Chains A and B, each alone.
Chain A
Amino acid sequence: QVQLVQSGAEVKKPGASVKVSCKASGYTFTSYYIHWVRQAPGQGLEWMGIINPSGGSTSYAQTFQGRVTMTGDTSTSTVYMELSSLRSEDTAVYYCAREGPMSAPLGYWGQGTLVTVSS
């Protein structure tokens, strides 16, 4: 069965970087795009970007341009999301999600990774 398993919670200081991993299993890793979505406490869902694990092409939301980097490792079926220059407003749960066919819905989600930014 399709699974996306994310790395554990992180606590970072303002100005630091965080790298969250998302390990995929149960399907051909290179066949489906992976998205990253975040959710600040008590807030809605915010789309961050997308990576094509086959070739590594990416597209990022303007909000995160210059601060986010998404990469993939086909040898371990893992995608990574690195966010730099962290500030308190980046405190959120970060999700990876796999895109599906037809209208490209996000049919499979990781369990989420809480990133807390605090001095």
Chain B
Amino acid sequence: DIQMTQSPSSLSASVGDRVTITCRASQSISGYLNWYQQKPGKAPKLLIYAASSLQSGVPSRFSGSGSGTDFTLTISSLQSEDFATYYCQQSYNTPRTFGQGTKVEIK
């Protein structure tokens, strides 16, 4: 199975900050990497697919980059509605493993 490791596990940031979350795969997954946002009590929401493609309707302050084993989700200017938990997921093969999540909290 491909292991997905996110860092950090949590972070505290202020509105307006630039936030970067990294995700590392245990083997190359090419560009088969997706990012999700989850708020308490809600289903996850797709933000970025194919490593760098912005899902329709998602604000442009979200961006993704990377290929192979190392990937990054960046929020260019954190907004109040962005405080949530973020997960990466590989879709290179099954099982479609998720990272352990990164909780973004208010500083």
Instruction: Write the residues of chain A forming the contact surface with B, with a CB cutoff of 8 angstroms.
Output: 35, 37, 44-47, 50, 59, 61-62, 95, 97, 99-100, 102-107, 109-112
Contacts and interface: CB of A to CB of B under 8 A. Distances in A.
Contact of B32 (A37, A47, A104, A109): A104
A104 B91 contact: yes
Given A50-B94, A59-B94, A95-B43, A103 B51 contact: yes
Given A95-B43, A106-B36, A47 B97 contact: yes
Q: Specify the main secondary structure of chain B where it touches its partner.
A: loop
Most buried by B among A59, A106, A109, A111: A106
Given A45-B101, A59-B94, A106 B31 contact: no
Interface residues of B, number: 27
A111 to B, nearest CB: 6
B33 interface: yes
B46 A107 contact: yes
Contacts of A45: 36, 38, 44, 87, 89, 98, 101
Nearest to B51: A103
A112 B45 CA distance: 13
